[in-house]
Amino acid sequence: MNDERELKSSLRPIPNGSGAAAVLSAGIGVCAVAGFALAADKMPAMQRLMIFYRPTGPLSGVTTSAVVVWLLAWGALEVRWRRREVNLPSVGAAAIVLLILSLLLTFPPLADLL
Amino acid sequence: MEMTTREFWSMVHGVGFGGLYLLGCTGAMVELWRRYAPSAAGAVTAADEWFMQLYLGAMTVLAWLAVLSGTYIVYPWYRAAPGAGATDLSRYPQRLLLASPATAGWHSIGMEWKEHVAWLTPIAITMSLAVCVRYGKDLRNQPLLRSMVLGFVLASMVAAGIAGFWGAEITSHAPVRGGSAVQLLHGGSQ
């Protein structure tokens, strides 16, 4: 009986929600790096606020804040989606847009245009 | 044959962690592409699954070590400010680059981009590892998820490549110097 239950459980595919949560939160995390960097570059008050470790300057706060946002987003999405099937094409598209946006926004000549 | 502690840590950060990470990227992509393709011949074995997780785990460790050593060990030496009236800027790479219009771009574009874009790498590869651990051999039944992981590994390689290129160029124009001497090898006298 137990063997039968284990076999059924091993044949059941894992819902895509957990993977979708990891992918989308990674998109949010990388975009947060660009977002915090841009904010620190444009606003002197934000720049001062982002100095978590003086020798490294605002980069310490920018990256630490982005990592915190990423992990919080991942945890929240994982809790909501882990047992569900979600619309992976839409989630993937959103993550790719965020990823491309972060690559572009971290490039100083483009960030300076904003 | 010796180098200073700052040069040593720059090398560990750039060549040791960053360089090894870049070397690992293509291997991860080939394995994900070949072994986990829905049309791939043969089943994904437990050994394949274990290898992939170990490989991505090693890459994740390298990525985090690269950004953390860069941000908290090497970067403070790079951006150190000289005392008032200092004329020799050779120990202050950021100020040395900004002192000339011919080299200022290495900081204002190169370092400004590198210091942020590099952080995309550990986030992307940690996600890839987590998905591979969670789904294991079942990743073959999730082609879109596998494509997403491949895309993020590719993006991590691009980000690490950008950081590595600028790092190497900046080091060639204004290396991080100083600290005590580290004796690497004793050369024979001619």
Residues of B in contact with A16 (CB under 8 A): 142, 144-145
Q: What is the DSSP letter of B71?
A: I
Residue A52's CB is within 10 A of a number of other CB atoms, namely 15
Whether A6 shows a pLDDT value over 60: the answer reads: no
Distance from C-alpha of A19 to C-alpha of A25, rounded to nearest angstrom: 10
Minimal-distance CA residue of chain A relative to B112: A108
B147 in contact with chain A, both atoms CB, cutoff 8 A:
yes
**A16/B151 touch (CB, cutoff 8 Å), yes or no:** no
B104 versus B88: the higher-pLDDT residue is: B104
**How many Å lie between the alpha carbon of A106 and the closest alpha carbon of chain B?**
6
Segment B41-45 mean pLDDT: 84
What is the spatial distance between Cα B83 and Cα A53, in angstroms, rounded to a whole number?
A: 20
What is the percent of chain A with per-residue pLDDT over 90, rounded to a whole number?
85
Selected residue of B64, B77, B115, B123 to mutate for chain A interface (largest A Cβ count, 10 A):
B123
**ipTM of predicted assembly, 2 dp:** 0.90
Q: Where are the domains of chain A?
A: 15-111
Taking only the tens place, the pLDDT of each residue in B123-143 is 999 999 999 999 998 999 899
Using the Cβ of B138 and the Cβ atoms of chain A, whether some distance falls under 8 Å is answered with yes
Contact A63 B72 (CB under 8 A): no
The answer on pLDDT for B120 being more than 80 is yes
Amino acid at B188: G
- Residue A99: list chain B partners with CB under 8 A: 120, 124, 151-152, 155
User: Please, which pLDDT band fits residue B73 given cuts at 50, 70 and 90?
Assistant: very high
- Identify the band that residue B88 occupies on the pLDDT scale cut at 50, 70 and 90: confident
Scan for tokens 């987003």, then name that residue.
A73
C-alpha distance across the termini of chain B, in Å = 14
Q: What is the pLDDT of residues B7-21, one digit of tens each?
A: 999 999 999 999 999
Give the one of A29, A62, A95 whose C-beta lies nearest to B148's C-beta: A95
Q: What is the pLDDT of residue A58?
A: 97
Q: Please tell me if residue A22 touches chain B, with a CB cutoff of 8 Å.
A: yes
Core vs surface per residue A25-48: b (16+ CB within 10 A) or e: bbbbbbbbbbbbbbbbbeeeebbe
> Which of the pair, A30 or A11, is modelled with greater confidence?
A30
pLDDT of res. B65? 98
Average pLDDT over residues B158-164: 96
